Amino acid sequence: MTSAPFAWSPRGWPSERAFATGGPEVWCYTDRFSYLPGETVTLHLASSAPSFEVEVTRDGARPEIVWSRSGVTAERFDTPEDAYAVGCGWPAGLTIDIPESWPSGFYIVTVRADAGADVWEREHFFVVRAPSERRAEMALVLTTSTMLAYNDWGGANHYRGLGDDPHVEGSAPRVSLLRPVARGMIRKPAGAPREANPLTLPMHAPPRYPAYEWARLFGYSRHHADAFWATYERPFAVWAEREGYRFDMLTQQDLHHDPEALAGYRCAVVVGHDEYWSWEMRDTVDAFVDDGGNLCRLGGNFYWQVRFEDDETVQCCYRAPALDPITPAQPQRATTAWEALSLGRPGASTVGLNGMGGTYARYGCAAPRSSGGFTVYRERHWAFAGTDLYYGDVLGAAPTFVAAFEMDGVDYTFRRGLPYPTFEDGAPASLEILAMTPAVRGEEDRFGGRVPLGGPLDEGEDYNSTMTGDIPTWASEMGDRGAGMIGVCMRGAGEIFNGGSTEWPHALEVGDPFCAQVVRNVLDRFGARRP
């Protein structure tokens, strides 16, 4: 079978830019990602429409329009060619004062203009944080650094977009906060495909990527399903609201800037794809858990360190320490994989598992015919109470696929039918592996280069070749094999549950009763209250 039916490619795919259609367009971004009640949101606007509407919706199980204005105008401002790295530089166009009555939550800013037979719409966002005196028991931390890494608006991101040859592209080590967000990361139609692939390949068939194919057909970013609200946090938030859990919202940048961002909460929750973290973000989480807070991580792919520059408006991730200009002076702040020996801070020391120990399953041709679920080994653990799961059962397999796309694990061994950490990778001494599934580092090319792959194994091998002497022995010896895991451990006075997969929000969205009961067990134990 040839690759002809799959003409899309994850490379050579144009990123969205301002004023490329020739018709009326409106674009916006905010001056920062989060605010307290009483503060002012500044919108930076650029438009080729005579006038347009701005609408603010508090999103969730019951979306509510909380602010709107019609007849807004803005000029058509030029955008730098490298807006992805330096920002758009548009002037302030509109301000919104946040009333004291607005609760913590995720607020979508929609800009809307009449485009003749159609309507032009794009969106941005901001988060309202809760003042310290009225915080809930639970805080949902939004994965804004992973969003920045995948946001290709303006031409590039931390993965691709640079270079004249569309098939050999370079990644941008610097990406700006001050630009619009790629289409599909904040809002998209229900049922849009995910990166986790529910299709099971026939023998010798080329891989399929429904999320790419859908995006190409309907004009969304090729990275719409890689990161952020519409794919990950929103399904969890809707489920949690309907279950009666009360929670506030924060961004990763709040954790970066404010060591007390989690003070007063009993439980911090991170869901979906949280691949990118700064040193300061980890410090805030570590201190919170050490002091008795609990971390519920329903996410996967804890992998890269990032750094912020230019008045904290640019996120940096060079990946190879030799390319990072900060390396000679501060080697521990090099923006590379957390498992690099030179950093001395393995990912599992914060979240119990790490991205290098797991990675892909049911993505393209990465473990494409795996069960899509976690095989249960410690069925009597409190996390499985009330689930009726037995030893050897598979949690969240087809049609849920909770163990898919990107996952985390640790180096492990088996003794008498049970998995145990080897602790060679910095895994906490208290870590228990509750369930597992096979995972691989990347997609093996069995097609002689004729078929484009979304996450080819050679990309990981190329990265490892730049890290000679800095990759831990366990990671080198495991080759392309790994495992996604569910793990529980203690840190200081607090407890950590790590679901080890990006697909927990989807499992809740589709109503998998086993996965939902596990999440209830964790949240209830960790102090998140329901009426």
pLDDT digits (tens, 9 = 90+) for 45-104: 999 999 999 999 999 999 999 999 999 999 999 999 999 999 999 999 999 999 999 999
Secondary element (H or E) of residue 215: helix 210-218
Chain mean pLDDT for the chain: 93
Contacting residues for 181 by C-beta, under 8 A, at least 6 apart: 29, 123, 124, 125, 147, 151, 153, 228
Exposed/middle/buried for residue 260 (C-beta within 10 Å: 0-12, 13-18, 19+):
exposed
Q: Under CATH, what is the fold of the domain 26-134?
A: Immunoglobulin-like (2.60.40)
Q: Is the pLDDT of residue 4 over 60?
A: no
Check: CB of residue 110 under 8 Å from CB of residue 123: yes
Q: Is the pLDDT of residue 8 over 70?
A: no
Query: Alpha-carbon distance 174 to 326, whole Å?
Result: 13
Query: Alpha-carbon distance 352 to 299, whole Å?
Result: 12
Query: Alpha-carbon distance 355 to 351, whole Å?
Result: 10
pLDDT of 415-433, one tens digit each?
Answer: 999 999 999 999 999 999 9
Q: What is the pLDDT of residue 104?
A: 98
For the chain, percent of residues with pLDDT exceeding 70: 96
pLDDT of 440-494, one tens digit each?
Answer: 999 999 999 999 899 999 887 778 778 878 989 998 888 899 999 999 999 999 9
Question: Who has greater pLDDT, 471 or 529?
Answer: 471
Q: What is the pLDDT of residue 467?
A: 81
Phi and psi torsions of 451, nearest 5° = -120, 125
pTM to 2 decimal places? 0.95
Query: Alpha-carbon distance 249 to 262, whole Å?
Result: 10
Question: Who has greater pLDDT, 4 or 265?
Answer: 265
Query: Alpha-carbon distance 349 to 352, whole Å?
Result: 6
Question: Who has greater pLDDT, 476 or 522?
Answer: 522
Q: Is the pLDDT of residue 120 over 50?
A: yes
Q: Is the pLDDT of residue 524 over 70?
A: yes
Q: pLDDT band for position 115 (50/70/90)?
A: confident
Q: pLDDT band for position 167 (50/70/90)?
A: very low
Tokens matching residue 229: 């609200």
Question: Hey, do 26-134 and 233-442+480-525 end up sharing a CATH topology, with the first three levels equal?
Answer: no
Q: What is the pLDDT of residue 9?
A: 47
Sheet holding 40-47, edge to edge: 26-30, 40-47, 92-97
Q: What is the pLDDT of residue 479?
A: 84
Q: 141 has which bridge partners?
A: 250
Q: Is the pLDDT of residue 356 over 70?
A: yes
Task: Map tokens 């940096």 to a residue.
Answer: 316
Domain extent listing, the chain: 26-134, 233-442+480-525
pLDDT of 272-328, one tens digit each?
Answer: 999 999 999 999 999 999 999 999 999 999 999 999 999 999 999 999 888 899 878
**Closest among 299, 263, 307, 300 to 281, alpha carbons compared:** 307
Q: What is the pLDDT of residue 476?
A: 87
Pick the CATH number of 233-442+480-525 from 3.10.450, 3.40.50, 3.40.1440, 2.60.40: 3.40.50
Contacting residues for 9 by C-beta, under 8 A, at least 6 apart: 166, 167, 452
